Amino acid sequence: MSDFALTVLATLNKGPVTDSRETFPGIDSQVVQGAVTSLAARNMVTFKQIEKELWAPTAEGEDIIANGSHEIRLYDEVIKSLEGLKIADVAKVLGPSGKVGQQRAFKNGWVKKDGDKLVKGVDEAPVDVTKDQLTTIKSTGTLDDAKELNELKKRKLVTKTKLVSYSIEKGPEFALEIKKLDTDLTIEMLQSGTWKTSEFKPYNFSAEGINTNGGAFHPLNKVREEFRQIFFSMGFTEMPTNQYVESGFWNFDTLYVPQQHPARDLQDTFYLKDPVKALEPEDKTYWSHVRKVHEEGEFGSIGYRYPWKPEEATKLVLRTHTTSVSAAMLHKLAKNPGPARYFSIDKVFRNEAVDATHLAEFHQVEGVIADYNLTLGDLIGFMERYFSKMGVNQIRFKPAYNPYTEPSMEIFGYHEGLGKWVEVGNSGMFRPEMLESMGLPKDLRVHGFGLSLERPTMIKYAVSNIRELLGHKVSLDFIENNPAVRFEEALV
């Protein structure tokens, strides 16, 4: 509470305040208002607001009060120039207000024309009525002569202002000191018994309270949730992708990425330092099938024909794709073969240079469909249905190469917003030697497809730099205030 509030109390002790502006001259009305409202909240005073309309000099009016009217200034200049003031020099000597001064001095008869000069029209120094009137207005707020007041208003020397002041009286809880009210009941108060005499601040039921900070889903998680719902609606079950570390065997060898493939280089993949090695898989038959397909071929494949090294297969890597999990799921499916639909949306890692659209980790959306005698036509039909669920109604396919699918197709979707075809995913049919070496029957075929989660999220939330979506540059406001995503508009 301000010192001024104490001044108000001390003043009230001597008698009521009828007009705060008169009692406390020079105190800003906001300060008075602050003090009386907070004292009134404690019932220490009661107050009423008084509004008065008063006249006050404008900046030009203040100038006249300080420096004299334009006409008197002109008169003074005429007196100073002994031989008369050249009319042409008026503006030079008096500036822009010289013209007004000249007109009014003429009207008053204070000066007259003598050829091209002005000379004095009265001998005795005239009274500066304008200045006197303004001085009166400044101290009293008005002028008795309404006609003159109106004249000053027309000359823009005065304006009307609203003055707020207060009449203040003692309230029921009046005191000379302001007691600090307690806001909380504390353990100490209960222990010492002071709660019995403490005065508490009244609870304000109209107070708006503090915003509760309830956490928020990251935009990636919102889009991920939409993707999950699409998969569930199409009969998919979610794969357990809760492991970031894989062996080279599951990440590469089972997918027939040869051991000398550039994707397996240190420049592309993160290898673990500790521990370095994984155990060999328990299924020794599968292990030997994989080795045989790599080295010499089997199940209709001619193989890569190179010496396959178990040491490469047992290296530990941060998984470069979630297809490693799909491979493990299909291997499990071989024990009880039949139609299945699996999906996963999770993190993968690549040793990439970070830029506006790439990070060393991102999310892969992956789907796998196993069924008897599936064809490429089935895959195309499925992808059309899948993408139409997220608002992408026109898609095209382009032949591509993947080590573990044949044939393989990149998928392009027509982006209505951008007005062009953009790549939306990759797909293909898993190679027979990959499936048969797991023990899956020959006529059980498997479609696989994948897309990124970041790309559609960036498009949906109009983020152009991936570092504003993930990492230390992310604005928490952005995360907290973005709405949930809906796929009524094209996402990708």
Ligand X SMILES: *[C@@H]1O[C@H](CO)[C@@H](O)[C@H](O)[C@H]1NC(C)=O
In whole angstroms, the minimum distance from the beta carbon of 218 to ligand X comes to: 33
| C-beta separation of 444 from 378 below 8 A | no
In whole angstroms, the minimum distance from the beta carbon of 206 to ligand X comes to: 4
- The half-sphere exposure of 444 on its side-chain side, counting CA atoms within 13 A, is 22
Distance CA 147, CA 239 (A): 92
Instruction: Name which of 135 and 482 has its Cβ closer to ligand X.
Output: 135
Instruction: Name which of 1 and 10 has its Cβ closer to ligand X.
Output: 1
In whole angstroms, the minimum distance from the beta carbon of 65 to ligand X comes to: 7
In whole angstroms, the minimum distance from the beta carbon of 199 to ligand X comes to: 15
Instruction: Name which of 121 and 171 has its Cβ closer to ligand X.
Output: 171
| C-beta separation of 56 from 156 below 8 A | no
* CA angle (141 as vertex; 136, 146 as ends), nearest 5: 75
- Beta-bridge mates of residue 346: 364
Residues that bind ligand X (CB under 6 A): 41, 62-63, 66-67, 204, 206-208, 372-373, 443
In whole angstroms, the minimum distance from the beta carbon of 97 to ligand X comes to: 10
Instruction: Name which of 15 and 338 has its Cβ closer to ligand X.
Output: 338
In whole angstroms, the minimum distance from the beta carbon of 373 to ligand X comes to: 4
Instruction: Name which of 61 and 281 has its Cβ closer to ligand X.
Output: 61
Distance CA 229, CA 114 (A): 98
Instruction: Name which of 62 and 182 has its Cβ closer to ligand X.
Output: 62
| C-beta separation of 399 from 380 below 8 A | no
In whole angstroms, the minimum distance from the beta carbon of 80 to ligand X comes to: 16
In whole angstroms, the minimum distance from the beta carbon of 110 to ligand X comes to: 20
Instruction: Name which of 191 and 204 has its Cβ closer to ligand X.
Output: 204
Instruction: Name which of 271 and 372 has its Cβ closer to ligand X.
Output: 372
Instruction: Name which of 94 and 453 has its Cβ closer to ligand X.
Output: 94
Instruction: Name which of 139 and 204 has its Cβ closer to ligand X.
Output: 204
In whole angstroms, the minimum distance from the beta carbon of 104 to ligand X comes to: 18
Instruction: Name which of 57 and 456 has its Cβ closer to ligand X.
Output: 57
In whole angstroms, the minimum distance from the beta carbon of 61 to ligand X comes to: 9
In whole angstroms, the minimum distance from the beta carbon of 74 to ligand X comes to: 14
